């Protein structure tokens, strides 16, 4: 399928104990022969001297040959598992670059070939990119499940359902005048389609969970000036991210840190203390604080323990995404029914992380099942749903037009998995991979 042979350093930053240079394409066998002598048996690691005709011994390493189509890409592939020194890797990469038909791989090149050779579907390729980008346990779990074809199976089955429904409708069309087609068939088909539409609607809602897993659960700290917001942020981040002073109105801008809380990405934002002020800069800061709170998944309202009105705080003002926490609990009384924390002694910090993690878990309940993981998926799913809605509801339209809507609905699902025209998408999807993948 491809004329050229690609190669890249597929392992991480140099120097490293071992580095892996991966090759894929029609010239792998000849290239390998010039480097290591005769071809090793497929899928068997052999220790070989790696030689360049003009520059002598480059390294001694493990060599793996994969005979296509039994490889990651479906083409002939090879791996040179060599010492991870900069000069070692550079010498071998330079040698390969000069071989006839070889070129350095671009981002996602190997996976693009795997997709085009039918080794995986598009959602599986995206999941592979997500797996490599995964920094938290939750991100890893979601990604690994989708590399095993979970989305492909689900969307494939819905696609089949749609195409069968369309076939029934068309059969009804063809035999409409004959007696042996029971009138109830189309009735049942439309009922099925209504059920599928409902399933799609709740499936699409699951994208919110994927967004939280990918972008992070957004926690915003708010409270009066000097409430201890910046100190709490620093304590949670375990470093001095935000400036802390005893002057009220110290923080003006939003200060964000990304944390791994019990395996979930959490973004905590510190904000300007909220008060009436004539200071132009502080005023803008307060506006930003309100904006951040509106966009938050969870707002933590800090009430300092040394505040005069601490006994009058009513935690019952809490709602789904707002909790009251007593800060500076080392220097005063704790507001009734609130969690108490101290940035100075560290008291309550673990409990606060538990609260954040359980709030986040509640909004992730859906993530246990298959969910759309990309905006791209969500938009194809919404298009699919619109088509089904038209087909189901427009009983004023001729049946052939309603059947055509079902076909288009199926096509939208096919675009997620790469079954339906995808040429224009490939550049976008594979460019976000790293080199060597
Ligand atoms: N050394 C090394 N480790 C690696 C990879 C790699 O390319 N090289 N991978 C790269 O991502 C991942 C493993 N993924 C792989 C996927 C398929 C095949 C493969 O040879 N598939 C054949 C045979 C399947 C089989 O025997 O079950 C095939 O699909 O026909 C190899 C690696 C992670 N670890
Ligand atoms: N004893 C004690 N002092 C604290 C604690 N947290 C913060 N402080 C002190 O309270 C003062 C204000 O702390 P900040 O963290 O700057 O408060 P802030 O809410 O960010 O204030 P603004 O940015 O002005 O809105 C500083 O002098 C801190 O050292 C705490 O847990 N215990
Ligand atoms: Mg501050």
What's the confidence (pLDDT) of residue 157?
Answer: 95
User: ipTM of this predicted complex?
Assistant: 0.90
Ligand 1 atom at shortest distance from the alpha carbon of 69: 30
In the chain, the percentage of residues whose pLDDT exceeds 70 is 93
Number of independent structural domains in the chain: 3
**Ligand 2 center from residue 244 Cα (angstroms):** 6
**Ligand 3 center from residue 224 Cα (angstroms):** 9
In a domain, 170, yes or no: yes
Which of 158-167, 221-230, 233-242, 314-323 is the least confident region?
314-323
SS3 percent helix, strand, coil of the chain, rounded to 5, is: 45, 20, 35
Looking at the CA of 66, name the nearest ligand: 1
What's the confidence (pLDDT) of residue 177?
Answer: 55
Q: Residue 170 — very low, low, confident or very high, per pLDDT cuts 50/70/90? A: confident
Q: Which residue has the tokens 């059920």?
A: 195
**Ligand 3 center from residue 247 Cα (angstroms):** 9
Q: Ligand 1 pocket test: which of 67, 71, 72 has the largest number of ligand atoms within 8 Å of its C-beta?
A: 72
Q: Are 400 and 378 in contact, with CB atoms under 8 Å apart?
A: no
Q: Which residue has the tokens 């550079």?
A: 90
Ligand 2 atom at shortest distance from the alpha carbon of 227: 19
Residues with CB under 5 A from ligand 3 (ion): 229-230, 250-251
Ligand 2 atom at shortest distance from the alpha carbon of 251: 23
Name the residue among 41, 8, 40, 11 with its Cα closest to residue 24. Answer: 8
Closest CA to ligand 2's atom 4: 328
Whether residue 143 is found in the same domain as residue 174: yes
- What is the Cβ-side half-sphere exposure of residue 301, based on CA atoms within 13 angstroms? 18
Residue 317 counted as an annotated binding residue? no
Looking at the CA of 81, name the nearest ligand: 1
What's the confidence (pLDDT) of residue 182?
Answer: 55
Closest CA to ligand 2's atom 2: 328
Ligand 2 atom at shortest distance from the alpha carbon of 234: 15
Whether residue 96 is found in the same domain as residue 39: yes
Whether residue 33 is found in the same domain as residue 147: no
Residue 111 counted as an annotated binding residue? no
Looking at the CA of 437, name the nearest ligand: 1
Residue 249 counted as an annotated binding residue? yes
In a domain, 117, yes or no: no
Residue 227 counted as an annotated binding residue? yes
Ligand 1 atom at shortest distance from the alpha carbon of 437: 11
In a domain, 114, yes or no: no
Q: Residue 188 — very low, low, confident or very high, per pLDDT cuts 50/70/90? A: confident
Here the tokens at position 417 are 């998995």
Query: CB of 79 closer than 6 A to ligand 1?
Result: yes
Distances, alpha carbon 370 to alpha carbons 141, 206, 207, 209, in Å: 12, 8, 10, 11
The CATH number covering residue 411 comes to 1.20.120.430
Which of 55-59, 266-270, 353-357 is the least confident region?
55-59
The domain containing residue 391 runs over which residues?
A: 124-206+371-430
Looking at residues 255-284, what average pLDDT do you find?
96
Closest CA to ligand 1's atom 26: 70
Whether residue 147 is found in the same domain as residue 230: no
Query: CB of 243 closer than 6 A to ligand 2?
Result: no
**Ligand 1 center from residue 43 Cα (angstroms):** 10
Looking at residues 287-307, what average pLDDT do you find?
96
Which of 110-124, 366-380, 402-416 is the least confident region?
366-380
Whether residue 191 is found in the same domain as residue 291: no
In a domain, 119, yes or no: no
Q: DSSP assignment of 228-275, as one string?
A: SHHHHHHHHHTS--S---SSTT---S-EEEEEEETTEEEEEEE-PPP-
The answer to whether the pTM exceeds 0.90 is: no
For residue 428, is pLDDT > 80?
no
In a domain, 225, yes or no: yes
Residue 437 counted as an annotated binding residue? yes
What's the confidence (pLDDT) of residue 422?
Answer: 62
CA 116, 121, 126, 130 torsion-angle sign = negative
**Ligand 2 center from residue 375 Cα (angstroms):** 40
Looking at residues 192-215, what average pLDDT do you find?
96
What's the confidence (pLDDT) of residue 435?
Answer: 75
What does DSSP say about strands 217-223 and 339-340: parallel, antiparallel, or unpaired?
Answer: unpaired
Whether residue 78 is found in the same domain as residue 178: no
Query: CB of 273 closer than 6 A to ligand 2?
Result: yes
Whether residue 252 is found in the same domain as residue 378: no
Whether residue 281 is found in the same domain as residue 343: yes
What does DSSP say about strands 46-52 and 56-66: parallel, antiparallel, or unpaired?
Answer: antiparallel
Whether residue 96 is found in the same domain as residue 195: no
For residue 302, is pLDDT > 70?
yes
Q: Residue 174 — very low, low, confident or very high, per pLDDT cuts 50/70/90? A: low
Residue 141 counted as an annotated binding residue? no
In a domain, 118, yes or no: no
Looking at residues 203-215, what average pLDDT do you find?
95
**Ligand 1 center from residue 65 Cα (angstroms):** 12
Whether residue 9 is found in the same domain as residue 64: yes
Looking at residues 257-267, what average pLDDT do you find?
97
Q: Residue 367 — very low, low, confident or very high, per pLDDT cuts 50/70/90? A: low
Whether residue 351 is found in the same domain as residue 236: yes
The CATH number covering residue 79 comes to 3.30.1360.120
For residue 32, is pLDDT > 70?
yes
Domain end, chosen from 363, 383, 418, is at: 363
Whether residue 327 is found in the same domain as residue 377: no
What's the confidence (pLDDT) of residue 55?
Answer: 75
């Amino acid at each position: 399928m491809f004329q050229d042979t690609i190669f890249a350093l597929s392992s991480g930053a140099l120097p490293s104990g071992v580095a892996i240079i991966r090759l894929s394409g029609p010239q792998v066998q000849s290239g390998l022969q010039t480097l290591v002598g005769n071809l090793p048996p497929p899928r068997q690691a052999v220790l070989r001297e790696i030689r360049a005709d003009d520059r002598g011994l480059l390294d001694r390493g493990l060599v793996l040959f994969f005979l296509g189509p039994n490889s990651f890409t479906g083409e002939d592939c090879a791996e040179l598992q060599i010492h991870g020194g900069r000069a070692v890797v550079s010498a071998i990469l330079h040698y390969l670059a000069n071989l006839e038909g070889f070129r350095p791989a671009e981002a996602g090149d190997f996976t693009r070939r795997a997709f085009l050779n039918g080794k995986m579907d598009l959602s599986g390729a995206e999941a592979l990119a997500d797996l490599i980008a995964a920094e938290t346990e939750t991100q890893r779990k979601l990604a690994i499940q989708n590399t095993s074809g979970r989305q492909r199976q689900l969307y494939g089955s819905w696609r089949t359902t749609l195409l069968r429904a369309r076939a029934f409708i068309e059969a009804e069309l063809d035999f409409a005048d004959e007696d042996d087609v029971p009138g109830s068939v189309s009735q049942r088909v439309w009922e099925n389609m209504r059920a599928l539409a409902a399933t799609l609607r709740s499936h699409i809602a699951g994208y919110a969970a994927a967004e939280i897993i990918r972008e992070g659960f957004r926690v915003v700290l708010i409270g009066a000036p000097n409430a201890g917001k910046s100190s709490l942020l620093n304590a949670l981040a375990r470093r001095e991210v935000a400036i802390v002073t005893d002057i009220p109105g110290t923080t003006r801008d939003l200060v964000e840190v990304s944390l791994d809380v019990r395996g979930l990405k959490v973004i905590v934002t510190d904000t300007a203390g909220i008060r009436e002020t004539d200071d132009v800069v502080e005023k803008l800061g307060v506006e930003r604080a309100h904006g951040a709170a509106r966009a938050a998944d969870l707002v933590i309202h800090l009430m300092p323990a040394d505040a005069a009105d601490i006994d009058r705080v009513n935690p019952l003002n809490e709602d789904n995404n707002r909790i009251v926490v007593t800060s500076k609990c080392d220097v005063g009384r704790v507001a009734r029914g609130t969690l108490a924390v101290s940035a100075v002694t560290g008291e309550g910090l673990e409990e606060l992380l538990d609260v954040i993690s359980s709030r986040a878990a509640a909004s992730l309940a859906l993530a246990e099942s298959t969910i759309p993981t990309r905006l791209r998926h969500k938009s194809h799913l919404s298009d699919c749903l619109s088509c089904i809605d038209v087909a189901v509801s427009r009983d004023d339209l001729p049946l052939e037009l309603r059947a055509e809507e079902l076909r288009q609905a199926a096509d939208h699902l096919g675009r997620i998995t790469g079954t339906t025209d995808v040429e224009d998408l490939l550049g976008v999807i594979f460019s976000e991979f790293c080199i060597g993948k």
